[in-house]
Amino acid sequence: MAKQHAYGQAPHRTDATAAKTQRARGRWVGLLTGIALSAVTLGKAHAQYAGQISSIVVDANTGAVLSQADPDLRRYPASLTKLMTLYMAFRALKAGAITPDQTVPVSIHASTMEPSKLGLVPGTHLNVEEAILALVTKSANDAACALGELIGGGDEQQFAAMMTQQARSMGMTNTTFRNASGLPDPEQMTTARDLATLGRRLIADFPEYYHYFSTESFRFHRRIIPNHNPMLKAYVGADGMKTGYTQEAGHNLVTSAVRDNVRLVGVVMGAASNTQRSLAMADQLDHGFDAEGVAPVARPLLLAHASPHATGRNGRRALVMAASTRHRPLEVAEAPAPHAVRHGHRAAATTAAHGHHVRLVGAKVRAISTVETHHLTARRSAAANRT
């Protein structure tokens, strides 16, 4: 009986042990799942390495890397995505699949894109060349989406899949695209190295279309749309390519410049400001040209880094970026000293080199042009948008 009793208790013990094992397994699976989810969350949280710049400069002809800093960190491309949108458009043009004057319909989806945008209305249209120019100059998200839909058979997601496939075929193994514009998507990522590859291929594969990147402005529906790429005016030899910004990505930039028949492609990602990314790019390109044996060229910018020695009237410490072209605007980004703000020096007029007049507005100084000074507010608003 004792044996039978023992035997009779065995199933109970087995069930209890199984239940205990299942609970332990459940806790273990839950722990692993939690670790996995935490890793994903942390990966996304640290994917952009806040405050850390990724950069690279390469010889456009040979691909030789001339300088680099964390070029393989996966980052959000922001509007640098449009470089691939443009690559796909140039490829379609070269293949005869589309033409410059072909109509690009504006869908409801395209019209709902967030700024920066042209403000396209559903049911209207623009042509392929206007869309290309809108991407290059204003970084218009609505135009990018409309162009992507045209090439992607009416589906932006399909176009993004085509973009990713093209990127992989070019060796951009760490790049994934999810839309045509670069508006935020957690799965849309790239690296500085991959973007340098894309920049080189744009130049090599489509020399007949590369000139679009140096467009200073174009007319669209009786409006003049200016190019807001600062490097075109700020760096000798720069003739393209693209800026990009979202809060998550930081301030990104791809620039190509040529001097003495040597062409470089530079990438800066994750800068804290437009000024920082422009300075970082200029410094990198200078080092790149020096490494290639190209004689240095005096910058057309006056660079006075914020320091006690740069303190001027009213206690302002300024970073001055002054284009030497006679009628080109002078820009000064500055941090006003606390006492200046307290005493109401929020806006004042002063003069700068070569007789340019500038106005101090808060923490920034921008040239007062003799034409359309009322655009200052619009420009400041646009600068805050995704570009």
Q: What is the pTM of this model?
A: 0.71
pLDDT at 50: 67
Residue of 312 and 202 predicted with greater confidence: 202
d(CA 317, CA 133): 37
d(CA 266, CA 199): 9
Report in angstroms the alpha-carbon separations of 93 from 97, 99, 101, 284, 309.
6, 6, 11, 33, 53
**If residue 287 lies in a helix (H) or strand (E), which one and from where to where?**
helix 274-291
pLDDT at 152: 98
Question: CB of 265 within 8 A of CB of 255?
Answer: yes
**Mean local confidence (pLDDT), 184-199:** 97
Helices of type H across 51-191: 81-95, 108-111, 128-137, 141-151, 156-169
Residue-wise pLDDT tens digits, 312-336: 333 333 343 433 333 333 222 222 3
233 is in an annotated binding site: no
Question: CB of 92 within 8 A of CB of 118?
Answer: no
Residue 16: band (very low, low, confident or very high) from pLDDT cuts 50, 70, 90: low
Confidence check: pLDDT of 25 > 90: no
Give the start-to-end residue ranges of the domains of the chain.
1-46, 54-291, 308-384
- Which of 55, 79, 116, 256 is catalytic? The answer is 79
Question: CB of 348 within 8 A of CB of 359?
Answer: yes
d(CA 22, CA 25): 5
- Which of 55, 116, 139, 278 is catalytic? The answer is 139
Residue 299: band (very low, low, confident or very high) from pLDDT cuts 50, 70, 90: confident
The whole-chain average pLDDT of the chain stands at: 76
Q: Indicate if 82 belongs to the active site.
A: yes
Three-class SS state of 291: helix
Q: Indicate if 38 belongs to the active site.
A: no
Cβ-based neighbours of 69, under 8 Å, separated by 6 or more: 53, 54, 55, 56
Residue-wise pLDDT tens digits, 111-159: 999 999 999 999 999 999 999 999 999 999 999 999 999 999 999 999 9
pLDDT at 233: 92
**Mean local confidence (pLDDT), 203-218:** 97
pLDDT at 49: 74
Confidence check: pLDDT of 44 > 70: no
Residue-wise pLDDT tens digits, 67-110: 999 999 999 999 999 999 999 999 999 999 999 999 999 999 99
Give the 3-state secondary structure percentages of the chain, helix then strand then coil, rounded to 5.
Answer: 45, 20, 35
pLDDT at 310: 36
d(CA 318, CA 304): 7
CA-based torsion, 55, 60, 65, 71: positive or negative: positive
Confidence check: pLDDT of 61 > 70: yes
Q: Indicate if 79 belongs to the active site.
A: yes
Q: State both tokens at 306.
A: 């914020």
pLDDT at 314: 38
Report in angstroms the alpha-carbon separations of 377 from 159, 179, 213, 383.
35, 30, 26, 10
Confidence check: pLDDT of 164 > 80: yes
Give long-range contacts, CB 8 A cutoff, 24+ apart: 193-197: 193/56, 193/68, 193/71, 193/72, 193/267, 194/167, 195/77, 195/80, 195/83, 195/254, 195/267, 195/269, 196/56, 196/57, 196/58, 196/71, 196/254, 196/265, 196/266, 196/267, 197/170, 197/171, 197/172
Confidence check: pLDDT of 245 > 70: yes
pLDDT at 32: 34
pLDDT at 51: 74
- Which of 54, 82, 181, 278 is catalytic? The answer is 82
Residue-wise pLDDT tens digits, 347-387: 333 222 333 332 222 223 333 333 443 444 444 444 444 56
- In CATH, what is the architecture of 54-291? 3-Layer(aba) Sandwich (3.40)
Residue 298: band (very low, low, confident or very high) from pLDDT cuts 50, 70, 90: confident
Residue 13: band (very low, low, confident or very high) from pLDDT cuts 50, 70, 90: very low
pLDDT at 15: 56
Q: Is the peptide bond before 111 cis (omega within 30 degrees of 0)?
A: no
**Mean local confidence (pLDDT), 6-16:** 45
**Mean local confidence (pLDDT), 161-172:** 98
